[in-house]
Amino acid sequence: MRIVIVGQGPFGEKVLQTLIQKGEDVVGIFSPPDKRGEAMKVMAEKSDIAFFRPNLMKEPQVYEAYSKLKPELAILAFVTDIIPEKLLAVPSLGTICYHPSILPRHRGASAINWAIIQGDTRTGLTIFWADKGIDTGPILLQKEVEIGPDETTGSVYFNKLFPMGVDAMVEAVQLIKQGKAPRISQDDSKATYEPPCDDRVASVNFEKSIRDIYNLIRGCDPQPGAYTAYQGKRVRFYEAKMSPSAIKGEPGEIVSIEEGYLQIAVKGGSIQIGKLRADKGEKIGPVEFATSIGVKVGDRFGK
């Protein structure tokens, strides 16, 4: 079965590597021209696989290259570009895509972030047949995982959904080769779609509940980093912990600065922050952070 892989980053690299090791007939790869696609390009060269690095998948030369490769299956392994509908029609068996949620819940580019921000206790991954919609195609297979109460987007992805996703992609390829791959229509009545998790949604509102604030910080860790304002600077929070114990202080007030954490009063308790970053600086510990920008106990974030 002739396979084309479109992807980038560590996930795209690992899917490519694993399918090569499994002896699959990968005939071409498409990855971005910047560092996101470099590892896949190097691996393709080593394995004598045709590689293409277009700026956009809609470029005419991409369709020409796709057609010449005569793929039976295309695999989308972490793709942030839009795949034109006419490319989806080229592989004779179709195109499959990895998505880190249990579709149709959390369609969109930031599925893991929003699962945590919205307080989900379970999530998972879906391998689906790509169509012209955004994460709307028929489901091939799904896997579920638990979201621990203290897990972040980073830990859920790298510890769970990344390795599970690589295995699921291999499983999907085998099902397709065996002619046993289902196409289960999504129930659109249960669909949710959220925008990209960026600074437009990552601002901390200290008037919200302790749970809402904590989930936002976890969901934005490591990217983009939930943030607040302090003396004209944008301060981002990482490695948070939640304490529901009653504590004196106004919402957003810094009540202690210790070597291991900076403690902020919120409604219903406090949030302890393990690492902070001001503007475009590095993530640093609370004491170093306080010294660097002059923050002290009694000051309030968000003012």
User: CA torsion angle for 149, 152, 155, 158 (degrees, to 10)?
Assistant: 130
Report how far residue 37's alpha carbon sits from residue 40's, in angstroms, rounded to the nearest whole number: 6
Sign of dihedral through CA atoms 45, 48, 53, 56?
negative
Per-residue pLDDT of 72-108, as tens digits, reads 999 999 999 999 999 999 999 999 999 999 999 999 9
Mean pLDDT (whole number) for 18-42 = 97
pTM of structure: 0.95
**Count of the separate structural domains present in the chain:** 2
Is pLDDT at 283 greater than 80 in this prediction? yes
- Token representation of residue 175: 């099902």
For residue 118, the domain's CATH number is: 3.40.50.170
The pLDDT value given to residue 133: 94
Same domain, 95 and 215: no
Per-residue pLDDT of 135-191, as tens digits, reads 999 999 999 999 999 999 999 999 999 999 999 999 999 999 999 999 999 999 999
State the chain's mean pLDDT as an integer: 97
Domain of 267?
Answer: 210-293
Same domain, 27 and 161: yes
Q: Is residue 59 part of a domain?
A: yes
Neighbours of 238 (CB within 10 A): 19
